[in-house]
Structure 1
Amino acid sequence: MSTLVALARAQAFASGKAQPIATVRHLHVSDDPLVLIPLAMAGEANAPLAAMIGTSLEKPRLLVVSQPRNRDERFAFTAALAGELLPYLESFATETEAVAVDRGRDVRYRYVDAPQVWVPNPGGVDFLRLLGRSTRFRRTDGDYPVPPAVPLLGQWLTFLASAAEMPGSALLSNTVQALGMHWTTGQSAAEDAQLGSLFAWITEGAAAAREAENGPVAGPATDPGFDNKVLAPLIAESSPELEEVLRDLLTPTWERMWRSLDLLRALPAGARVGTRWDSDRDTYSAFVEHLAEDGAPQPRRDGAVAAASRLQRLENAAARYAVQRAFDDPLVMAEHRLTGAAFAGVVTLANPDRIDDTGKRPVLRPRIMVATTEPVRVEAGTNLTSPARPSQKAKVISVAPTADGCDVLLELSGGMGRKLVAEPGSVPAVGERILLTTLSEAYRPGAAFPDPADTPWTHGGPPAAAVTSA
C-alpha cells in the first residue's frame, strides 16, 4: 500500500466515506458490455450452479443447474451459457480497419471494436478459467459427447482468462478490482473483496457497508449458511423454487454491477486508456483469426520457452501499465514525487537552439534550467521524461542547491523534429511549469529465448546423448 493510499484509507475511516485515489479512469469501459455472474456449488470442484448473464440491466438471463452433480445437466448448462455468450463474443468480428505497420510501408487489419465481459470479482475470473480448462478439450463425438458449442466456449473462456492476467487489459474485467483502483475505503482489503460492502462504501458510506456485509454474496462461492439451510434442501428435492431463490440471490449483485459501470463511466478516461484498448482489439482480432484458420484449443500447459516468454510479456506490461497510469493521473504521479522518482518545477532558462558539434556531425541538443522546491534524488547523467513530452529525453547535467530548493540543468534530445532547429513548442519555454520523472514508456526489447528443442531436458528438451543414440 502506497503512502497516499494509506492516507486516503485513514481519511475514509475517519469520515465514513470512500475516498478517490484517481482523477481519471484507468481502464476502458465498453458502451456494449456483457455482465456475467457465475455461481458454483460449495464442496464440488468448480461445479456450476447458476449464472446470470446479459447485456442490459433490464434483461438478465438466469441459467440454473438443478442437480450440479449430474454430468449431463452440467454440460447442458455449459451449452446454454455458450448460447448466450458466444453470439456476443462473435458479434464484434465484423467491421475491420487498416492499421499502418513497418513505418507506413505495410498495413494490417483489426476489428474496430472488441467484446468486454464483466464479472463481480477475481473469483469470477478464476471460475471462468477453470470452466474453460475443463471444456475446451471435450469431444463432440464418441463416448460422452458434448454439444458442439461447449469446446468452443472453453476456448473463448481460456482466451478471456488469459487476457485478464495481462495488466491493463480490459477484455475480461472484474468489478471489485476496477472500483478498488479508483476509490479506497476505511475497511480492510479482505473486506473490500466483498462487492456489496465495497459498493456501499463508495455510494453511501460506512453505515450502509455494514448492512451490505450481511447481504447476498457475489459468487462464485455461496454462503455456508445459505448452502445448508436453503440450497441443500432445494437441490435434494429438485424443487422448482430453486430458480426463483437463485434469482433473488443474484439480482442485487446484478444491479450493483451495472451501477458500478455507471460510476466508472462518470470518470474521464485517461489519455492512454484508448491505446491499451487498441492492444485488446489486436488480441481479439488475432484470436478470431486463429479460430477461423486453425481452431486448435490452447495447450494444457505452456512449455518452458513459452512460459518464460509469457512471463516476460506480463512483467513488461505491468511496468508499462504502472508508468502509463502515473503519466495519465497526477494523483498517481504524486506518489512518485513523494519517493523522489519525479519532481515538478519552473523553467528559468532555456537555450532551444544549442547545437552539439563534438561528434561526427552536429546535433540539436537544447538545454534548460528547471528550478524546483521539491526533493531531487537523481544524479548527473540520469535520463528523465516529461509526461507532456514522452518522446523526449532530458539528461541531467547538474543539480545545484538553492536557498529554497535546487536548480536542475537538463540537456534535451528527441521529440524536436529532424532538423537543427527545434519545432515550435517542442522545447519548454521560460516560465513553463513541467514535471520530470525517471519513469519511461520506452520500448523494452524482449529477451532472446532458445528454440524449444534446444532447451535442457529439465525444461522439455531431450538430452543430446539420447537424441544421438536414437
Structure 2
Amino acid sequence: MSTLRALAKAQALAAGVAQPVATVRHLHLAERPLVLVPLAMAGEAHAPLAALVGTAPDDARLLVVPQPRNRDQRFRFVAELAGIVLPYLDGFRGVSEAVPVDRGRDVRYRYVDAPQLLVPNPAGVIFLRLLGRSTRFRRPDGEYPVHPAVPLLGRWLTFFAERAEHPGSSALVALTDALTLHWATGQSAVEDLHLPALLGWVDPPAGRSGAEAAARAEDPRVCPPAGPATDPEFDNTVLAPAMAGYAASADDPAARRVAYAELERVLRGQLTPTWELMWRGVGLLRALPPGARVAGRWDGDRDAFTGHAEHLDAGGGPQPRRDGAVAAAVRLHRLERALTSYAVQRAYDDPLVMAEHRLTGEAFVGDVTLADPGRVDDSGKRPVLRPRIQVVTTEPVRVPVGATLWSTARPAQKAKVVFLTPAADGKTEVVLELSGGMGRGLTAPPGTVPEAGERLCLTTLSDAFLPVGAFPAAEETPWTHGGPPVRAADGTPPEVDGDPAEEWT
C-alpha cells in the first residue's frame, strides 16, 4: 500500500466516508455496458447457478440453472446466455473507421466502438474465465453436442478474461476494482472486495457513516453476497429446499412450473440487490471526468475487439488451453509494457497519482524563474535549438546532473538536468536544457518553451514509445523450453500434458 493511500484510508476512517484518491476517472465507461451478475453453486466445481444480465437498470434478464449438476442444463444456460451476449457484441460490428498506419502510407480498419462487460468483483472475472474455458472447446456435433452458440460464447468470454489481465483495459471490469482505484475506504483491501460494504463507504446513506453502512452490508439477510459465491445459510435454508422441490416435481408439469417459479423468485431476490448496487456504482464513476489518456487506452480495446472478431470471421480456432513457451514470453512482455505505460499515463493524467511519485523522488514541482527560449547550440555539425530554463523548487530533487526529465504539460519534450544548486533557504535551483516538441527550426513556436512564472511538474516517468522485445518464432523454440511444438499430421497442435481429460470434454 502506498503512503498516500494509507493516509487516505486513515482519513476515511476518521471522517466516516471514503476519500478520493483520484481527480479523474482512469477507465472508460461505455454508454451501454453489459452488466452481468453471476451466481455459482457451492460445492460443485464451477457450476453456474444463475445470472442477472442486461444493459440498463430496468433491463435485467434472469437466467437460472434448476439443477446445476446436470450438464445438459448447464449448457442450456450457456446457450441462453449466448443469446443475450452475442447479439450485444454484434451490435458493435456495424461501422468501422480507417486508422492511418506506417506514418500515413497505409490504413487499417477497426470498429468505431467496442463492448464492455461489468461484473461485481474479481471473482466474477474468474467465473467468466472458467466458463469460457469449459465451453470454448465444445462441439455442436459428435458426442455430447451443444448449441453452436456455446463454443462461440466461450471464445468471447476467454477474450474478455484475457483483456481483463491487460493493465488499463476497460473491456471487462470488476466494479470493486474500479471503485477502489478512485476511492480509499476505512476498511481492509479484503473487505473492499465486498461490493455492498465498499459502496457503503463510498456512498453511505444519509445519517450513517461508512463504517455503519459497511457493518450493515455484512449481514447477508440485508445485503446478499455479490456473487458468484452464495451465503451458506441461504443455501441450506432457502435454496436447497427450492431445488429439492423442483427435482421432486419431475413427473408433474404443473408442479414443475410452480417449483421453477419459486426458484426464480428466491434467486432473483439474491441477485437484485447486487444488480442495483452495480448501477449505483456505475453512476458514481460516471460522475468523474475521464482522464486525458483514457480514450487512447480504449482505442487499444477497440483494436483487440476488432482483431478477435476478424479472427473468428476467418474461421480461426479457439484460444489454446495453455500458451507455448514463446507465446507465454511474448504475452508476459506485452503485459509488462502495458503496466509500465498505464502507471505513467495515470500519473500524467492525475496530480493525486503523481503526488505518490513526488514522495518517492521520481517527480518534483517548481516554478520557472528564468527562461532563454532562443538559445542555440552550435557545438555540433549544425546548430540546433536548445533553450534553457531555471526551475526553483522547495521539494527534494533526487536526480543527478545529466538525468532526463519530462514535463507533464509537454510530455513530448525532454529536459536534461544541467545544473543543480541547493540554496540556503531550503530551495533548489535546477537548470534544464530542452529538446524536442519545438519543431525543426531555430525559433521556438509560442507556448513550446515554458515562460518565467509558469509552474511545472517534472518527472523521470516517460510516456514515450516502449520498443517491443525480440522473440524467436514458435518453430524456433529453444530446447530449454521444450523445443519446437510438435503437430499432428493434420497440422493440429497436440494436447498439453496436465489438461483435464474427462470423457464428456
**Pairing 1:180-329 to 2, within 5 Å after superposition:** 180-204=180-204, 205-214=210-219, 215-238=223-246, 239-240=259-260, 241-329=262-350
**Matched residue of 1:278: which SS?**
helix
**Matched residue of 1:237: which SS?**
helix
Q: Which residue of 2 aligns with 1:404?
A: 426
**Pairing 1:69-468 to 2, within 5 Å after superposition:** 69-204=69-204, 205-214=210-219, 215-238=223-246, 239-240=259-260, 241-402=262-423, 403-461=425-483
Shift of 1:462: 5.0
Letter in 2 for 1:207: E
**Matched residue of 1:434: which SS?**
strand
Q: Which residue of 1 aligns with 2:18?
A: 18
Are residues 462 and 389 of structure 1, via their aligned partners in 2, closer, same or farther at CA, if it must alter by over 3 Å?
closer
Q: Distance in 2 between matches of 1:289 and 1:348?
A: 55
Query: Given that residues 361 and 398 in structure 2 are in contact (C-alpha distance below 8 angstroms), is that contact kept between their aligned partners in structure 1?
Result: yes
Q: Distance in 2 between matches of 1:244 and 1:320?
A: 47
Q: Distance in 2 between matches of 1:112 and 1:199?
A: 33
Instruction: Structure 1: give runs of 5+ residues left out of the alignment.
Output: 464-470
Query: Given that residues 155 and 319 in structure 2 are in contact (C-alpha distance below 8 angstroms), is that contact kept between their aligned partners in structure 1?
Result: yes
**Matched residue of 2:461: which SS?**
coil
Shift of 1:185: 0.7
Shift of 1:394: 0.4
Greater shift in the superposed pair: 80-89 or 288-297: 288-297
Shift of 1:309: 0.5
Query: Given that residues 452 and 460 in structure 1 are in contact (C-alpha distance below 8 angstroms), is that contact kept between their aligned partners in structure 2?
Result: no
Q: Distance in 2 between matches of 1:338 and 1:142?
A: 62
> Where does structure 1 differ by over 3 angstroms across 4 or more consecutive aligned residues?
none
Q: Which residue of 1 aligns with 2:503?
A: none
**How does the TM-score come out when normalised to structure 1?**
0.97
Are residues 257 and 279 of structure 1, via their aligned partners in 2, closer, same or farther at CA, if it must alter by over 3 Å?
same
**Matched residue of 1:424: which SS?**
coil
Shift of 1:457: 3.0
Q: Which residue of 2 aligns with 1:40?
A: 40
Q: Distance in 2 between matches of 1:105 and 1:255?
A: 49
Letter in 2 for 1:385: W
Letter in 1 for 2:322: R
Count of aligned positions: 463
Shift of 1:455: 2.1
Greater shift in the superposed pair: 228-237 or 89-98: 228-237
Please report the RMSD computed on the Cα atoms of aligned residues, expressed in angstroms: 1.1
Greater shift in the superposed pair: 203-212 or 83-92: 203-212
Query: Given that residues 364 and 395 in structure 2 are in contact (C-alpha distance below 8 angstroms), is that contact kept between their aligned partners in structure 1?
Result: yes
Greater shift in the superposed pair: 82-91 or 205-214: 205-214
Are residues 345 and 427 of structure 1, via their aligned partners in 2, closer, same or farther at CA, if it must alter by over 3 Å?
same
Are residues 6 and 148 of structure 1, via their aligned partners in 2, closer, same or farther at CA, if it must alter by over 3 Å?
same
Sequence identity of aligned pairs in percent? 67
**How does the TM-score come out when normalised to structure 2?**
0.90
Question: How big is each residue's C-alpha offset from its partner over 1:273-299, in whole Å with a ceiling of 9 and x where there is no partner?
Answer: 111111111111111111111331111
Shift of 1:396: 0.6
Q: Distance in 2 between matches of 1:459 and 1:211?
A: 53
